[in-house]
Structure 1
Amino acid sequence: MTEGLRARARLAMRTEIAETAFALFVRRGFEQTTVDEIAEAAGLSRRSFFRYFPSKEDAVFGLLYDLGEELAAAVTARPAEETPWTALHAACAVLLGPMLHRSDEAMALLRLIHDTPTLRARHQDKQDSWRKLLVDALHGRSVPALEADVLASAALAVFDVVCRQWLADPAADPAALMAEAFAVLRPSREA
């Protein structure tokens, strides 16, 4: 088996486990679902579960692992003449994708994270790693360190606000919320 095939098989298995875990969490609650139950539902041993995910919390975010890297790559791919804030806004389409295309699942995931204190904390850790990736992407666009950190942090805060607003009003359009929220914080020199 080639290395690429192994990696794809591992990713497919991680995705299957994450989807199984997510379905159990939505149906039974995060705290009420055990790793043993997830492993059994996925047809694995407990030990095998831990080969794919270091914790039950990580299984929740298993479907989101690559989003930070995709977001940073999207910033890097934006035209050089775009301002950093505009590039961040455009790149955030990566984050909107699951919300727009699988809205019921995305809403259930957001609700699960919002309603579970341990998952909210883990989500903050995940976003901190995304922030670092965004800062690096902005450095690649010659944005000074302080400005890159502020802009990346602000963009992720905008995403958090969009998620909260969408949870409060599921009929709202996440893309319109994102555009409106980014406009609120548009740097004055870009106006």
Structure 2
Amino acid sequence: METINKKDLLQKLDDVVEQHISDAVALFQNRNDEFLNKPSATGGWSIAQCLDHLNSYGHYYLPRMRDKLRAAPPADAEGFTSTWIGAYFTKMMDPETGKRKYKAFKGHIPQSRLDSASVVREFIRQQEELLYLLRDGMGKDLDAIRIPISILPFIRMKIGDVFQFIIAHNERHMQQAKRNLVPESIC
């Protein structure tokens, strides 16, 4: 695996998270429960279910990342080298490279009817926290901090890989949620 510039990576990820926040506020915040809980026309998840699924991963990863970043000493490391497993998981979730559909793991399957306002509010809060963690990561060694993955906690990925995976996963489901919007509702 090649080493990439940490600052460039974190800025790219920061931009994606900023877009997720903007989209959530513009497209989903202040929408009624019926709209956000309406099942997809293709039989997939509703907007609220997509965001709740992402929130379930945030509930797992964000506290662990926050604790590890807090405990990590400042570091001047300018590069980050992804591991093969980190690159694999990220590629698998990225909507551009991971075209296959995956079944959600137990504990990450959303209910069919949700309090959509609280789901959207929590999603926005988590994305704001993720921005903070990305920015905190700028002064840390992303190769040295390891986070256990949710589906197999005995596997620990570098935090730089976890950032990439989570944000690719978020993008995948944000695109899915936005497919539930009818063209007139975007105006």
| TM-score between both structures, scaled by the size of structure 2 | 0.29
* Larger RCO, structures 1/2 (Cα 8 Å, 6+ apart): 2
Radius of gyration: which is bigger? 1
- Between Structure 1 and Structure 2, the one with more strand by share is 2
- Between Structure 1 and Structure 2, the one with more helix by share is 1
